[in-house]
Amino acid sequence: MTNFAAKLHVFNGPSLSVPYRAISLRFNSNELFGHSSSISAQDIAALEPFFPENIFQRLASEEEYADMADFIAALAMSIQEVNDELGLRYDINRDHGGETEILMGFCSEQAARSALHSALRMALFVKGRLPGSEQGFQEWLKSLFLLQKRLQPLSTSARMLKYSRQAGIPHYQLDATSRHISYGQGVHSTLFNGSLSSRDSHIGEELQRNKFLTNKLLRTMGYPCTRQYLAYDLPTAQDHVRKLGFPLVIKPSSASRGSGVTSNIRDAKDIDKAFKFAARYSNGEVIVERFIAGDEHRITVSNGKVIGLTHKAPPAVVGDGHSTIRELIEAENAARIANKTSGNWHHAIPLDEALDDFLKLEHLTVDSVPEPGQKVVLRDNAGVTTGGTRPSVIHLMHPDIEEMALSIARVFRLRTIGVDFITTDISASWRDTGKVIEVNAFPSLYGKLSELMLKEFFPADRRGRIPSVLIVTDSPASSVAKLQGKLHEELITGYVDRGTTRLDGVERLFDGESLYRRCVSLLIDTLCEAIVVAADADEIIGNGLPLEFFDEVYIETQDTRTEDLAAQ
C-alpha cells in the first residue's frame, strides 16, 4: 500500500482545537477522494468480509454518514473499540477547499494513531484509490486488529475509563502497551489492572488464584463449601469420583471465566474427557468436587460494601414452534451483536461440541425444534464467555449472605472481590441453603458496577484530584518567585516546566519527554500532594494542556493567544 498525504498530531489535553485529549488527523478530502466523497451502503458492505462482526454491525447500523470524513471518524472509533466501548468522542473540522481535520479521543496513543491512519487507508481502498490486492488488504487488517486487541483496554477497564471520563476522575495509562492505569492524582491515586487495585493484598490475590486453597480457607472461616479433591492424573481423579459419587464437577485449579469446567457429570464414561479438558487450563492440576444443584450467583464487594449481586444465568433460548435450536441461537447471537452496549453481557453463545454434549443429555440436538414458549437451557456452565448473562437480584439478598461476602473480602484482604455462591434461594440465609464455590480478586464489572466501585474509591468532592496550578509564562523562574505564597508551599508539591521536573525539591532527569509525560510521572506518585506547571503559550497551543483541569491559572505573559484558552 502506498503512502498518502495525511498528518497526525497529539493534543495531550484540552486545546484551542478541542476541549479534550485527542489525536488530530489532517488531510485534504478533495485531493484524496476527488468527487467521490460520499459513502454508500454498497461501500460499507464491501468491508464485511474483512471485519470482525461486531465492528461491521456497528458501522452498518448508522443510517447514513454525512461524508467520507464522518465515515473515517466512525470507522477509527470502531477500530479503537474492538474490545469494548470506551465512551470516547470525536469532532470534525472542514473548510470549502476540502481541508479536513478529525479530532478523536483516545486511551492508547499508539493504538489511536494506528486506528486513524488505518481508517483512512480503508476508506481509500473501498473507493478504489489505494492499490493492492484483497488478500494483502485482509492480511494487513488481521495484523491491525491483533494490535488493537493487545493495546486497547479489556471490558472491565473500558467501563471504568468510560465512567471516569463522565465523572471527571483523572486517569493515566502507565505505558502505551500496558493495561495498568492510574486513577486519581498523587496522594489520591490508585493503580488498577481491571478491577484489581494496588490497594489489594498480593497474598489475597495469590490465594484466590488457587481454587483448592480458597476452598480450604473458606472452610476454616466456617462458611459452607463443596468437598474438593485434587488430581494430577486420570487414575487419581477416578478414585475421587468413586469417593464422591455422581453428579460431579471437574474443573482446573486456577482458571477463570468458566474455562475448562465440566459441570453436572453423571456418567463415568465422561470423566476422561472432562479431566483432559480441565488439565489444559491449569498445568494438569485438576479439582474434582460434588455438583451442587441451584442457581449460581456473583456477589461483588468493593471497599466494604456489597455493590452488586447477579444471577449467573446459563445461556438459553425460547422456542417459537418452527425454528431449530441452531437457528434460535444464531438469532440470539445476532441480537447480542446489534445491541452490544453492555460489553461481556452479550458474548455470543458458542455452537460447539460442549453444546452438543449438553443437549444430548436432554435428548435434543441443535436441529431440534422446541415448542412455542419452551425454554431450552444450553449449558450447565453460566460463564460469560460461553454465553451466560448476569441479571441483577441484589434486591433479594439475605442479610446473612451480605455479611458473609464482606467477611470473605476482609479475610482475603481484598478491596474489590467477587464471591460465587450457589443456592436455590438467594433470599434465604447461607446457614439454611447454599455453598460458596469460588472467590475472584478481579471480578468483571458489568452494568453499573464499574461506576459504583469507582465512587467508593473516589468521593465526589474532588474525584481524586490534587490541588493544581498552571502558570502561563515565558520566564518560569521569575514567575514562580513572583507568585511565592500562592503555590501550595505547605504541601508536598511537584513542579514541572520546560526544563525541570521535581517533587518535594528533588530533581528528576528526563531526556526528551513531553511536558505531559513528565507531569504524569509526578501524578502517579503517592507522595505528591499538589502540582505546579509552568508552560509558555507555544507549548499549550501546540500540544494542549498537560492536565485536563487546573484549579488556578496565572497568566504571566503578554502573548494574547493564551486569553481564549484561559477563558475556555
Whether 508 has a pLDDT exceeding 60, the answer reads yes
Whether 388 has a pLDDT exceeding 90, the answer reads no
Q: At what angle do helices 399-412 and 202-209 cross, to 10 degrees?
A: 110
pLDDT band per the 50, 70, 90 thresholds, residue 346: low
- Note the pLDDT of residue 464: 94
- Note the pLDDT of residue 4: 63
Are the C-beta atoms of residues 370 and 319 closer than 8 Å to each other?
yes
Give percent of the chain with pLDDT exceeding 90.
Answer: 56
Q: Give the residue-averaged pLDDT of 116-125.
A: 89
Whether 387 has a pLDDT exceeding 70, the answer reads yes
- Sign of the C-alpha dihedral, residues 536, 542, 546, 548? positive
pLDDT band per the 50, 70, 90 thresholds, residue 157: very high
**Tens digit of each residue's pLDDT (9 = 90 or more) over 493-505:** 999 998 899 999 9
Whether 321 has a pLDDT exceeding 50, the answer reads yes
Residues 6+ apart with CB under 8 A from 212: 228, 230, 253, 285, 287
Q: Give the alpha-carbon dihedral of 405, 253, 443, 341, to 10 degrees.
A: -130
CA angle 146, 150, 152 (to 5 degrees): 115
Hunting for cell 451483536 — which residue is that? Answer: 337
The single-letter code of the amino acid at 24 is: S
- Note the pLDDT of residue 354: 87
Q: Give the residue-averaged pLDDT of 286-296.
A: 91
Distance CA 162, CA 401 (A): 31
84 against 507, higher pLDDT: 507
pLDDT band per the 50, 70, 90 thresholds, residue 104: very high
Q: Where are the beta strands (DSSP E) in 280-346?
A: 286-290, 295-302, 305-311, 316-318
Would you state the cell numbers that stand for residue 341, as one nine-digit string?
Answer: 452496549
Whether 50 has a pLDDT exceeding 50, the answer reads yes
Whether 343 has a pLDDT exceeding 70, the answer reads no
- Note the pLDDT of residue 341: 45
Phi first, then psi: what are they for 92, rounded to 5°? -130, 130
Whether 565 has a pLDDT exceeding 70, the answer reads no
- Note the pLDDT of residue 342: 44
Are the C-beta atoms of residues 116 and 8 closer than 8 Å to each other?
yes
Would you state the cell numbers that stand for residue 88, as one nine-digit string?
Answer: 470516547
DSSP structure string for 18-68: -SS-EEEEEEEHHHHHTT-----HHHHHTTGGGS-HHHHHHHHHSS--SSH
Whether 522 has a pLDDT exceeding 60, the answer reads yes
Q: Give the residue-averaged pLDDT of 60-75.
A: 85
Q: Give the residue-averaged pLDDT of 137-150.
A: 86
Distance CA 21, CA 194 (A): 22
Hunting for cell 458501522 — which residue is that? Answer: 59
Which range (162-166, 283-287, 339-343, 549-553) has the least confidence?
Answer: 339-343
339 against 356, higher pLDDT: 356
Whether 82 has a pLDDT exceeding 90, the answer reads no
- Note the pLDDT of residue 568: 61
Closest listed residue to residue 370, CA positions, set 379, 359, 380, 381: 359
- Under DSSP, the state recorded for 526 is T
Residues 6+ apart with CB under 8 A from 486: 469, 552, 554
- Sign of the C-alpha dihedral, residues 377, 381, 385, 388? positive
Q: What is the residue-averaged pLDDT of the chain?
A: 88
Whether 3 has a pLDDT exceeding 70, the answer reads no
Radius of gyration of the chain (CA): 27
Distance CA 279, CA 164 (A): 39
Are the C-beta atoms of residues 249 and 261 closer than 8 Å to each other?
yes
- Note the pLDDT of residue 404: 98
CA angle 315, 317, 319 (to 5 degrees): 165
Whether 300 has a pLDDT exceeding 80, the answer reads yes
333 against 346, higher pLDDT: 333
Are the C-beta atoms of residues 115 and 76 closer than 8 Å to each other?
yes
pLDDT band per the 50, 70, 90 thresholds, residue 391: confident
Q: Give the residue-averaged pLDDT of 541-549.
A: 91
pLDDT band per the 50, 70, 90 thresholds, residue 169: very high
Closest listed residue to residue 422, CA positions, set 403, 410, 440, 436: 436
Q: Give the residue-averaged pLDDT of 68-96.
A: 90
264 against 225, higher pLDDT: 225
- Note the pLDDT of residue 459: 86
Query: Among the residues of 178-295, which ranges form H helices?
Result: 202-209, 211-221, 234-244, 271-279
Give percent of the chain with pLDDT exceeding 70.
Answer: 95
Whether 49 has a pLDDT exceeding 60, the answer reads yes
pLDDT band per the 50, 70, 90 thresholds, residue 5: confident
pLDDT band per the 50, 70, 90 thresholds, residue 525: very high
Hunting for cell 465512551 — which residue is that? Answer: 87
Closest listed residue to residue 160, CA positions, set 466, 445, 506, 550: 445
Whether 126 has a pLDDT exceeding 50, the answer reads yes
Q: Where are the beta strands (DSSP E) in 389-508?
A: 416-423, 435-440, 468-473, 493-496, 501-503, 506-507
**Tens digit of each residue's pLDDT (9 = 90 or more) over 215-245:** 999 999 999 999 899 999 999 999 999 999 9
